[in-house]
Amino acid sequence: MKHIFNKGKNPEKPTLLLLHGTGGNELDLLPLAGRIDDEASVLSVRGNVLENGMPRFFRRLAEGVFDIKDLIFRTKELNEFLDEAAMKYEFDRNNILAIGYSNGANIAASLLFHYQDAIKGAILHHPMVPRKGIDLPDLTGKSVFIAAGTNDPICSPMESAELQSLLEKANANVEIHWEDRGHQLTATEVEAAAQWYKSL
């Protein structure tokens, strides 16, 4: 997968896996990584799917209607890419924290839904429930921060709350942060995510 890897000063820190939103690329979220942990290594990945020229992490049939077969395939592909990248760049495969926005948050949530050991935790900006009606792996020890908007037309507040509840039922520790805004990624939610990260 097309990506950027920046080695951090402190190898004890989690590697921050950055996953952009629809139409974005691996450069978009780089400033966020510095706000969360400026000593951590950063692996920023570009989604392999193109929708009218816009990179995404998996196909959708319509807005909010996911192509589940492709979601499963792309989640596996990303998980395997993490195995390869950890070997190539010599970072700890068991210490990855995903930071995703929108479509990137959805594939990060999908990693948690499908693989027990894909990531140690995640900061999910405006995520949805990636897949309904499946049993999640036991997510004991995983920490997840969700930032959601009370007026988000794409990821409804109900969907954010449902994601929180599904992750909690799988034993993850979940904190949800609400903004009285829409789908945009705000400076205040990034600050809230940074505070949450410090408390881990």
Residue 117: both structure tokens together? 């050991």
Among 3, 92, 156, 183, the active-site one is 183
Amino acid residing at 147? A
Q: How far is CA 33 from the centre of its chain?
A: 13
Q: Name the maximum alpha-carbon separation found in the chain.
A: 42
User: Is 152 designated active site?
Assistant: yes
- Which residues, including other chains, have CB under 8 Å from residue 120's CB and lie 6 or more apart? 14, 94, 95, 96, 97, 141, 142, 143
Ranges assigned E (strand) in 93-194: 96-101, 121-125, 143-149, 173-179
Range list of H helices, 43-183: 68-89, 103-114, 157-169
User: Is 114 designated active site?
Assistant: no
Comparison of 41 and 102: residue with beta carbon closer to ligand MLT: 102
Tell me: does residue 22 bind ligand MLT (CB under 6 A): yes
Contact region with ligand MLT (CB under 6 A), list: 68-76, 91-99, 100-108, 174-182:
100-108
Residues in the chain, overall count: 200
What string marks each residue from 41 to 70 as x (binds ligand MLT by CB under 6 A) or -?
A: -------------------x--xx------
- Which residues, including other chains, have CB under 8 Å from residue 12's CB and lie 6 or more apart? none
Task: In angstroms, give the least distance from the CB of 164 to ligand MLT.
Answer: 17
Among 41, 44, 102, 160, the active-site one is 102
Looking only at residues 148 through 177 of this chain, which bind ligand MLT when binding is defined by CB under 6 A?
A: 154
Task: In angstroms, give the least distance from the CB of 64 to ligand MLT.
Answer: 5
Looking only at residues 124 through 153 of this chain, which bind ligand MLT when binding is defined by CB under 6 A?
A: 128
Task: In angstroms, give the least distance from the CB of 185 to ligand MLT.
Answer: 12
Closest by CA position to 146, among listed 159, 131, 133: 159
Comparison of 22 and 164: residue with beta carbon closer to ligand MLT: 22
User: Is 102 designated active site?
Assistant: yes
State the catalytic residues: 102, 152, 183
Site residues (CB under 6 A) for ligand MLT? 21-22, 60, 63-64, 102-103, 106, 128, 154
